[in-house]
A and B are shown apart, each in its own frame.
Chain A
């Protein structure tokens, strides 16, 4: 149905045009989902925008053909193209928050498409809109039609986006990372919805993603992109059982998962070449473990290895040799020993202020009674969906946010309420690594200055020569060249920046590192490098980690202990084996079941949660989870369940248990 042939797209930068997409060809049949998989910057989004002819101002279509049902799209006039866009092909974007117009009602936005493409107006259009919203699973569609985007939650916005995309009855739906910005439980709902609609309507779908789990859940055929080129196209079965391109194989190898606990992850060395300096031969050559001399000279041709499975690689071998390179880096059974950080009943409430006099009209209970204990050398993973208060817990531990109540005891001494010098001394023992490596380094300071800042402030090394030596040693420890000292953060990639941030935190020799989603902004291959580094540092230095994340694969891979958070409270905690293998809380069970696994055999039993996390300003009565809990009982609506011990280390807050 859709046929893309030798498409080349470029972006003009100054006087040059750099090809971001360099000659890719694929086709999508009716009723088929074709997934385009690749790391950030490899040209996935540019491809989608090129097909829709929605490239940004600097973008140019350099060459190639795109045809829908045999009709060439690239030679159409802009006016004709507009009839295709939203009509025969529609697109959903990554960020639901910014892809809807904030000043128009939902009804107006859907109505526009109906009017433009189906010539529907008035009552007929309203009826159709209600119908569409119902199809995408929005309750009370009549009311929602008159609402504005800000009145909808993230998942609902994405549903509305899908409704808008479906309004023109497209034959082809392009979904660019449709669930990346959503929580796992909501992602599961949206993926289900997309799959169902696609089957019902027999649409073709181009799904763009970087997540192998989503691919496994959705795709019929998969194209792997690397540095602007397609390198492998395979059916779902072939792709997951016999990936042939070294890059694809490496992607699988780099995934953290439970079977690799305690083992070093295989990483892809180096990084994606920049657009301006593409190598002549195979673009993966610098990072490939099978590289041969011919690879650097001749760009590999397409080769069919099985029916419908093609690959661009000179290497004729099949499976990656199962890693002799893998070896254990951490012991998983470190003795829990005595915990050195004890958090009891920690609360952080943010006042909601309104009006001219800034009266407090209520509180956002971001953290509402959290108790934790962290022992030396172990990793405690704090898991939960966005907005449940994970980051706030981390910052409150460090006293970056003043806790409203509760206590944080470090080796017996209380931190809450400390000021000035005493607080500074205490901070030596704990440091934090932030989520976004692009926002956590001051762009105006040199790497050396960034790393030395903490030492200066906490008086760790006062002698400047000793400090310079310490910085060099730290850089080496996190795997950066020592000449990095004099460079600025913008000269580094995301993964390298995260290493700098880790070095900065380690500079004051803390015993506890609070890692706030340290890999969520990174690609799989880079994530593996950072996870390996964190494990290595733990083994060498015996630091404990509080690992804040929403990524269960990472938790399964490295956590010793797990605490699951929902709406400001911990609902289940215990040893990783206990919580992950035999979760007792319905929320934990649902979370685990919602995570799309990058395997062919997906979950046997699917638990789907309805709705989304309520606002922490108005938590539901009784058990916070009861409006979404599939097993809710009457008592759940009245009382918050007390802590129940399942084993010596495993506790759950649920009326079902105990």
Chain B
């Protein structure tokens, strides 16, 4: 058994704090009937629950990728333990074959040979220019190189059947629990949209299990320029996307909520000042602001290499800095929304009744205003998430996003961009990155719609 050293990156702390906060908020919601009722409506929404299932799958990947460690290097007994310079995550460990089985350069999905001709020395025949065999992809086929399709289809079928059996187990479990709780109700009629969840789960399983099964034998999404498996890169990108989407909102939320409410409630010069700040911020193009901040930050990071013991730490800090910068430039929308709503709320009679009792302003804000703004905050959070994931992709594409060594949808697209011009075209990196991002953003958007519908007071008649 090899030892290891746990590494806690700053972003790990934030992500797990977010998970804890999520659980805390969940408990709080369960104790507040109006909020609980709203979330029940989300739970009853089929599309919403289907997309939530997809999101959960992504989040699971992200969380597995947020437990980091450094493996112990082989050392003689009695010597001080030495740890690898490379920081790995649990996901890396699980996907070790994907990570380690690198080819030399590009290869197409399910290929057995490289994508470029090379000069190969064949014993006895001299040098030939041909597509060399891959080191890993399709190795088990040996000489039967032309049977890729049959082999892959058969393996996929096997895995699919297994996935289906596994799903049947989950289905049976859910159905029994449901039957126990409300014997008369069919699953289709339950208050929670179990049917949608189960169906999505089935789709995910039937798609993902064969995919991963096959990825043991082939590069299912191909390999990139340095021969790394594209599927592996996609898995790693998920965490980056989630952090950008979640941590950024965490940064901007307190600012937006506090400033918005204060401006709307106290009016007067405070309001003028806050409005002035966000109008100014809004009138500078966001990309310029971000570009300037990112470049400055990069200079600081580059001039202080002694701050970081590993490259991962440096990339991590840069990612967080990007979150902060995005957060600071994106609070204005929510702030404006909350200010307007507070203006409306403060004229409501229950606020005036509280004022008539001499309840202090901060207490009124905490007890009367904040809870009644919660739905806007929740809607804004969920809606912003997908926007931020996209923003990361755009910024990385322009070269002012995450550290180039960090895998993200943006860097993947940026790298793939170069190869679009060559003939024959290298399409798989781009297509895979786009598809994964599309699924994530689509799920987030559909979920946001469900949340908005459930919290929209007009929809609740």
Given contacts A488-B34, A490-B34, contact A441 B350 (CB under 8 A): yes
- Any A CB within 8 A of the CB of B356: yes
- Any B CB within 8 A of the CB of A308: no
Contacts of A439 in B (CB 8 A): 348-350
- Any A CB within 8 A of the CB of B359: yes
**Whole-angstrom distance from the CB of A97 to the nearest CB of chain B?**
18
- Any A CB within 8 A of the CB of B421: no
- Any B CB within 8 A of the CB of A398: yes
Contacts of B372 in A (CB 8 A): 442-444
State whether A457 touches B358 (Cβ < 8 A): yes
- Any B CB within 8 A of the CB of A247: no
CA distance A423 to B359 in the complex (A): 12
- Any B CB within 8 A of the CB of A431: yes
Contact pick for A395, options B352, B367, B368, B371, CB 8 Å? B352
State whether A436 touches B354 (Cβ < 8 A): no
CA distance A530 to B322 in the complex (A): 60
CA distance A70 to B368 in the complex (A): 57
Number of cross-chain contacts by CB at 8 Å: 66
- Any A CB within 8 A of the CB of B2: no
Q: For this complex, into which size category does the number of interface residues on chain B fall?
A: 20 to 34
State whether B32 touches A444 (Cβ < 8 A): yes
**Whole-angstrom distance from the CB of B414 to the nearest CB of chain A?**
44
CA distance A507 to B402 in the complex (A): 59
Which of B357, B360, B368, B461 gathers the greatest number of chain A CB atoms within 10 Å?
Answer: B357
- A460 (CB) vs chain B CBs: closest residue: B357
State whether A431 touches B367 (Cβ < 8 A): no
In chain B between 19 and 36, which residues have their CB closer than 8 angstroms to a CB of chain A? 32-34
**Whole-angstrom distance from the CB of B44 to the nearest CB of chain A?**
9
CA distance A212 to B357 in the complex (A): 38
Contact pick for B357, options A395, A434, A436, A458, CB 8 Å? A458
- Any A CB within 8 A of the CB of B288: no
Given contacts A423-B358, A445-B367, A457-B358, contact A440 B353 (CB under 8 A): yes
Contact pick for A453, options B34, B348, B359, CB 8 Å? B359
CA distance A193 to B453 in the complex (A): 44
Contact pick for A427, options B33, B357, B367, CB 8 Å? B357
- Any A CB within 8 A of the CB of B310: no
CA distance A398 to B356 in the complex (A): 7
CA distance A424 to B349 in the complex (A): 19
Contacts of B354 in A (CB 8 A): 453, 457
Contacts of A456 in B (CB 8 A): 359
- Any B CB within 8 A of the CB of A575: no
CA distance A162 to B400 in the complex (A): 63
Contacts of B371 in A (CB 8 A): 442, 444-445
- Any A CB within 8 A of the CB of B119: no
- Any B CB within 8 A of the CB of A161: no
State whether A427 touches B356 (Cβ < 8 A): yes
**Whole-angstrom distance from the CB of A43 to the nearest CB of chain B?**
16
- Any A CB within 8 A of the CB of B127: no
CA distance A439 to B371 in the complex (A): 15
Contacts of A400 in B (CB 8 A): 352, 355-356
Contacts of B360 in A (CB 8 A): 457
Chain B binding surface SS class: helix
CA distance A279 to B380 in the complex (A): 43
**Whole-angstrom distance from the CB of B397 to the nearest CB of chain A?**
40
- Any B CB within 8 A of the CB of A504: yes
**Whole-angstrom distance from the CB of A209 to the nearest CB of chain B?**
24
Contacts of B350 in A (CB 8 A): 439-442, 450
Contacts of A457 in B (CB 8 A): 354, 357-360, 363
- Any B CB within 8 A of the CB of A435: yes
CA distance A435 to B354 in the complex (A): 15
**Whole-angstrom distance from the CB of A327 to the nearest CB of chain B?**
33
Contacts of A444 in B (CB 8 A): 32, 34, 371-372
State whether A432 touches B33 (Cβ < 8 A): no
Mark each residue of chain B from 440 to 461: 1 if its CB lies under 8 Å from any CB of chain A, else 0: 0000000000000000000001
Contacts of B356 in A (CB 8 A): 398, 400, 427, 430-432
State whether A488 touches B33 (Cβ < 8 A): yes
**Whole-angstrom distance from the CB of B459 to the nearest CB of chain A?**
11
CA distance A403 to B213 in the complex (A): 77
In chain B between 349 and 383, which residues have their CB closer than 8 angstroms to a CB of chain A? 349-350, 352-360, 363, 367-368, 371-372
**Whole-angstrom distance from the CB of B30 to the nearest CB of chain A?**
15
**Whole-angstrom distance from the CB of B31 to the nearest CB of chain A?**
11
Which of B32, B348, B353, B461 gathers the greatest number of chain A CB atoms within 10 Å?
Answer: B353
Contacts of A398 in B (CB 8 A): 356
- Any B CB within 8 A of the CB of A141: no
CA distance A444 to B350 in the complex (A): 11
Mark each residue of chain A from 480 to 512: 1 if its CB lies under 8 Å from any CB of chain B, else 0: 000000001010000000000100110010000
CA distance A441 to B360 in the complex (A): 18
Contacts of A436 in B (CB 8 A): 349
Contacts of B359 in A (CB 8 A): 453, 456-457
**Whole-angstrom distance from the CB of A151 to the nearest CB of chain B?**
25
Contacts of A458 in B (CB 8 A): 357-358
Contacts of A431 in B (CB 8 A): 356-357
- A489 (CB) vs chain B CBs: closest residue: B350
State whether A443 touches B357 (Cβ < 8 A): no
Contacts of A453 in B (CB 8 A): 354, 357, 359, 367
Contacts of B367 in A (CB 8 A): 442, 445, 453
- Any B CB within 8 A of the CB of A454: yes
CA distance A432 to B33 in the complex (A): 28
State whether B349 touches A434 (Cβ < 8 A): yes
Which of A400, A453, A501 gathers the greatest number of chain B CB atoms within 10 Å?
Answer: A453
CA distance A445 to B357 in the complex (A): 16
State whether B357 touches A508 (Cβ < 8 A): yes
**Whole-angstrom distance from the CB of B175 to the nearest CB of chain A?**
21
**Whole-angstrom distance from the CB of A152 to the nearest CB of chain B?**
25
Mark each residue of chain A from 498 to 540: 1 if its CB lies under 8 Å from any CB of chain B, else 0: 0001001100100000000000000000000000000000000
**Whole-angstrom distance from the CB of B273 to the nearest CB of chain A?**
14
**Whole-angstrom distance from the CB of A341 to the nearest CB of chain B?**
15
State whether A427 touches B358 (Cβ < 8 A): yes
Contacts of B33 in A (CB 8 A): 488
Mark each residue of chain B from 338 to 350: 1 if its CB lies under 8 Å from any CB of chain A, else 0: 0000000000111
State whether A440 touches B357 (Cβ < 8 A): no
Known A-B contacts: A439-B349, A445-B368, A453-B354. Give 19 more (CB < 8 A). A395-B352, A424-B358, A427-B357, A430-B356, A431-B356, A439-B350, A442-B367, A443-B372, A450-B350, A453-B367, A454-B357, A456-B359, A457-B354, A457-B357, A457-B360, A457-B363, A458-B357, A501-B353, A508-B357
Write the residues of chain B forming the contact surface with A, with a CB cutoff of 8 angstroms: 32-34, 348-350, 352-360, 363, 367-368, 371-372, 461
* Those 3 A-B pairs whose CB atoms lie nearest each other, nearest first: A424-B358, A440-B349, A434-B349
26 sampled A-B residue pairs with Cβ under 8 A: A400-B352, A400-B356, A423-B358, A424-B358, A427-B356, A427-B358, A432-B356, A434-B352, A435-B349, A439-B348, A440-B350, A441-B350, A442-B368, A442-B372, A443-B372, A444-B32, A444-B34, A444-B371, A445-B371, A450-B350, A453-B357, A457-B357, A457-B360, A488-B34, A501-B353, A508-B357
